[in-house]
Amino acid sequence: MCSACRIRRLGVCSGADEKGLDQLELRKTYRRYAPGERMASAGLDLPQIGTVLSGTATLSRTQDRGTRQIVGLLQKGDILGRPWRHTTPFDVEALTPVEVCAFRTPVFEDLLDQMPGLRTRMIEMIQDDLDAARTMMTILGRKTAREKIVSFLVHLALRQNSTPERGACEVDMMLSREQIADILSLTFETVSRQIMDLERAGLIVPRTRRIFCIPELQALIQLSGDDHDGALIDC
């Protein structure tokens, strides 16, 4: 039941009223993807539009030379697919098991036409993605490796700890060194070195390879290179 959906207040569908939800109810299909599974390929047809219910997927493009750039992470509530555009310009790949609530593209376009609230919400979400992408542009082009790693850690910390008190907190990077490198446009060696440096400086304390304690979040923020407004890729 849509009205009891765990992302009811998060996804596009939060723009739908009760009557609209009934419409969605009738047309939706659930899909599951296994870790590593290709959910869509750059340049190819993508005949569905969906909302991520759980799990994480990457949006990326790989160059001829083999370097990869991750341009977005799809998480709970994020949209996969594009209305009125029948191909997708990026590869989409499941990182963890992913559940998607999907509609065939023409069906979803009809729903958008009929439901003003849905369309409004859609505009808001894409706009936020756009802002996040542009913010990433400023990070990729103008920050040092150190600042990139710190910005990434701060972003995750603020996201994962809803209390923005800037004191001690814990952060789970979730991703491998290589995946972080593909997001921040670095090599995995550089990522590893920067993380080690932060450890040796006592700014982060390892719990596991990917989970860290941050004794003083404020100290990290000051190393991040600018006024941290929190909008990194993911939305």
Partner DNA sequence: CGAACGCTTGACACTCTTCAAGACATGTGG
Partner DNA sequence: CCACATGTCTTGAAGAGTGTCAAGCGTTCG
The footprint of DNA (CB under 7 A) covers: 144-146, 176-178, 185-190, 192-193, 195-196, 209-210
Separation of alpha carbons 217 and 163, rounded Å: 12
Separation of alpha carbons 219 and 122, rounded Å: 37
Pairing label, strands 205-206, 68-74:
unpaired
Nearer to a copy of itself, 122 or 169 (CB): 122
Place of tokens 């697919």: 81
113 binds, options DNA, a copy of itself, none, Cβ within 5 to 8 A by partner type = a copy of itself
187 binds, options a copy of itself, DNA, none, Cβ within 5 to 8 A by partner type = DNA
Token digits of residue 178: 């290589």
Helix residue ranges, H only, 64-187: 105-114, 116-142, 145-160, 177-184
Asked if 91 and 79 touch (Cβ cutoff 8 Å), the reply is no
Q: Residues in the site for a copy of itself, rule: CB under 8 A? A: 59, 61, 63-65, 67, 69, 71-72, 82-85, 89-90, 112-113, 116, 119-120, 122-124, 126-127, 129-131, 133-138, 140-142, 184-185, 225-227, 229, 231
CB of 139 to DNA, least distance (A): 12
Token digits of residue 50: 């969906």
Q: What is the identity of the amino acid at 23?
A: Q
Nearer to a copy of itself, 27 or 85 (CB): 85
CB of 205 to DNA, least distance (A): 13
Beta bridge partners of 49: 103
Other CB atoms within 10 A of residue 232 CB: 22
Nearer to a copy of itself, 94 or 122 (CB): 122
Separation of alpha carbons 131 and 133, rounded Å: 5
Nearer to a copy of itself, 12 or 195 (CB): 12
210 binds, options DNA, a copy of itself, none, Cβ within 5 to 8 A by partner type = DNA
Nearer to a copy of itself, 126 or 219 (CB): 126
CB of 142 to a copy of itself, least distance (A): 5
34 binds, options a copy of itself, DNA, none, Cβ within 5 to 8 A by partner type = none
146 binds, options a copy of itself, DNA, none, Cβ within 5 to 8 A by partner type = DNA
Burial class of residue 93 in the structure, from the number of CB atoms within 10 Å of its CB (0-12 exposed, 13-18 middle, 19+ buried) = buried
Nearer to a copy of itself, 64 or 165 (CB): 64
